[in-house]
Chains A and B, each alone.
Chain A
Amino acid sequence: MRDRKINSTRFLSKVSACAVAGVFLLASLPAFAQPHVIEVLADKDSRYKISGQKAGQVVVKTGETIVLRIDARKGKSWNRDGTIHGFTLLHMKSRAKVAGWDLELKPGVQEFTLTAPEPGEYEVVCTVICSDDHEGMRMKLLVLP
């Protein structure tokens, strides 16, 4: 009877240890990692805003999955197809576009799933003339190794 109790306790300990190890293992695998959700307000005053941040800057890790949840609000001007802002990623120095990061925003909330590019400094720019201050609609994106 006592042996049985010891065996069941050992068994339970092993199961618990395996479960804990499994959870850590799964969490460490990229496929099971939670995507980095970034909420951006593409505002009517031609500014990208991120809650809790004064200066519009985003820091991500290279290769990580990013879910961009963007709430776009119409400025004084827009495109004839209904696009009200753009969200295009450029290399800071060369101004070359980053493939897959050329988004057209319609009014309201929209989500985009993207992969963070190579490490470096980038700039997000608006590609729609959205107001008198359209040229100032920029945001820094820093990609860490």
Chain B
Amino acid sequence: MKTTIDRETITTAALLVLMLVLLASYSYSKDGVVTLRGAIEDSQCAFNVHSEGHSHDWMIKKGVVGARDAKSCTLHCVRDMGGKYVLVVKDEVYRFDNEGVAEDFAGLKVKIGATMTDAKTQTVHIITIEKE
């Protein structure tokens, strides 16, 4: 009787673990593509300590020429000031190894399918990108 209960417990635990694994890998496809939702911004505004919420507010409040809203600020910082396009997902900032793909989505909220190319620097390779 005792042996039967143990087997049931083990089976239940194994099923739970399997469900957890499936749940954890929900957003990943078989080839390691992860889905990320966030906004395409410039690296200057995204990484700055005084850019609250990684926003462009600071630049816009300063009245920087060419920075009127999220889109124009992003384009100005990348095209004129040597910045890079990045993806801001809440508190996380992702760099791209093919950032040119993101240019058309500057300042917009997007859904990105990407593979991680360097976990240390949070650099991803964009596979798909669409406006949210």
Contacts and interface: CB of A to CB of B under 8 A. Distances in A.
Contacts of B58: 129
Interface of A, secondary structure class, is loop
A81 to B, nearest CB: 7
Contacts, number: 42
Interface stretch (B3-11, B43-51, B101-109, B124-132): B43-51
A142 interface: no
A126 B83 CA distance: 9
B82 A80 contact: no
A77 B79 CA distance: 22
Chain A interface size range: 20 to 34
A129 B45 CA distance: 7
Interface in A77-102: 77-81, 83, 86, 88, 90, 95, 97, 102
A118 interface: no
14 contacts: A79-B48, A86-B82, A90-B82, A97-B82, A126-B81, A127-B43, A127-B81, A127-B82, A127-B83, A128-B44, A129-B48, A129-B50, A132-B62, A135-B64
